[in-house]
Amino acid sequence: MTPLDGIDVVLADLDGVVYTGANAIDYAVDSLNKAAAEGVRVGYITNNASRTDVQVAEHLSSFGLKVVPHDVVTSPQAAVKLLAGLVEPGSLILVVGGVGLTSEVEKAGFTVTRQAADEPAAVIQGFAPDVAWKDLAQASFALHRGIPWVATNTDWTIPVEGGIAPGNGTLVSAVHTAVGTLPVVGGKPEKAIFEAAVARFGAEVPLFIGDRLDTDIIGANRAGIRSAHVLTGIDGAKQLLAADTDSRPTFILDDLRGLFEPYPPTELSHDNTVATVGKSVVRLRGTSVEVVKSGDSQVDVIRAGSALIWASGQPIYGLNVAPELYS
């Protein structure tokens, strides 16, 4: 079987899956276009709250993907759906964030303010590069009245052109420190954004593709969706080997060509001390995890090592893991 067998909708993360910075990731565009050509609906999920769905669709289209705004599910869209269940229609909302968030708030029929003195009915917060201390202060002033607080996402980091920068989670944490409460969250790893995507595309058997265990894979697992972790972004072999129960993907792929390749089964010995994937064999001897046979595929070694460590029930810090499994 391949990871796409029986799948009716592919839901792809963006950063680390489709592109890195200004460049498309090798094989990603061709693979996603191939999936669409074979009759699988392709949608995109992003926690990035600074851009509208139109802007995201235009960006993806520039790489050669066939994308319209309706194909893009954003964390502001999921957050505004949560907001609608907390306040009256047409309410005044204090927005911390940019056009990616304000546009969704206004499309839902709410009125935007930036000032706590206007006595908004709720605060909604998302990342934008120009969010400043004064914006966080206004949110804090408003929230001290005990009104609802919704965040688009709580990612601690965000990949940008120059590298890895602080994400919306750091800004949410600053407000939390001031007010002592926590927001409800629309984006990954919470279920709301996945449920919004499933509903929009009418998915019955979706597959989510991500590159981060702490947002992508945990979120898919919480939503009961099959997941494929692709080794082209943030988390690599070291993080996979150490993944806890909540953050283990259904599939591990080297790149998106793996969507169409037969996925080798994992064979575990009866005592869970030997794992075989393809021609790769990894063994647990005491507290040492050893590569017995590398085979002809590094990703198979990672699959075997991950399966072995996960089945052992032992924490990664208590094991001596062979460097060839993660380097």
pLDDT digits (tens, 9 = 90+) for 14-68: 999 999 878 999 999 999 999 999 999 999 999 999 999 999 999 999 999 999 9
pLDDT in tens, 175-224: 999 999 999 999 999 999 999 999 999 999 999 999 999 999 999 999 99
Answer left, alpha or beta for residue 174, where phi above 0 means left and psi between -120 and 50 means alpha.
alpha
Residue 13 bears catalytic tag: yes
| Given the residues 5, 15, 211, 214, the one annotated as active site | 15
Distance between CA 116 and CA 197 in Å, rounded? 33
Instruction: Out of 3.40.50.1000, 3.40.718.10, 3.30.930.10, 3.20.20.220, select the CATH number for domain 9-47+189-260.
Output: 3.40.50.1000
For tokens 């869970």, name the residue.
Answer: 272
Instruction: Give me the count of residues in the chain.
Output: 327
Model pLDDT for residues 61-101, shown as the tens digit of each residue: 999 999 999 999 999 999 999 999 999 999 999 999 999 99
Cα–Cα distance for residue pair 130/55, rounded to 1 Å: 18
What mean pLDDT do residues 128-153 have? 97
Note whether 9-47+189-260 and 76-185 share their fold: yes
Q: Is a pLDDT exceeding 80 seen at residue 161?
A: no
* 271 in active site: no
Q: What architecture does CATH give domain 76-185?
A: 3-Layer(aba) Sandwich (3.40)
**Active-site residue, from 13, 155, 211, 214:** 13
pTM of the model: 0.93
307's tokens: 């399966």
